[in-house]
């Protein structure tokens, strides 16, 4: 049974940093990703990473967020720096069992096979 468990959410002041983790179990994955959903808005992609370590980020987080992955631990990370109030959202870890360039993209919302329950990140101004 595949499980994705996010951790590391919380409340920080604007300009601060947070590091989210996603512990995966039950499978290996060709693509892993972070998505987020702000209150009253739809889900949006934050970024993705494949098994080769290649990353793609949404324009809104480029230069501030960094995705990394520990294949040995089957764990995904999201380092968030320079946080802004508009980054307030529930952040979700997602994974696709086999890599597919069409779906391994922050622009694709419905291409992932598995999703975590989410962790709330709140940025105060």
Condensed to tens digits (0 to 9), the pLDDT of residues 14-68 reads 999 999 999 999 999 999 999 999 999 999 999 999 999 999 999 999 999 999 9
Q: Long-range contacts of range 65-68, CB-CB < 8 Å, 24 or more positions apart?
A: 67/34
- Distinct helix (H) and strand (E) counts, the chain: 0, 11
Separation in Å, CA 121 to CA 19, 105, 109: 10, 22, 20
Residue 125 in this model has a pLDDT that exceeds 90: no
Condensed to tens digits (0 to 9), the pLDDT of residues 64-82 reads 999 999 999 999 999 999 9
């Amino acid at each position: 049974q595949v499980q994705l468990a996010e951790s590391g959410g919380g409340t920080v002041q604007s300009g601060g940093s947070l590091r989210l983790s996603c512990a995966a179990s039950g499978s290996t994955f060709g693509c892993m990703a972070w998505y987020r959903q702000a209150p009253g808005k739809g889900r949006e992609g934050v970024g993705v990473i494949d098994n080769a370590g290649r990353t793609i980020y949404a324009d809104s987080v480029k230069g501030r967020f960094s995705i990394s992955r520990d294949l040995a631990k089957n764990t995904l990370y999201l380092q968030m720096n320079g946080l802004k109030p508009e980054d307030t959202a529930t952040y979700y870890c997602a994974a696709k069992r086999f890599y597919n360039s069409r779906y391994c993209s922050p622009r694709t919302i419905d291409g992932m096979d598995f999703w975590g329950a989410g962790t709330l990140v709140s940025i105060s101004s």
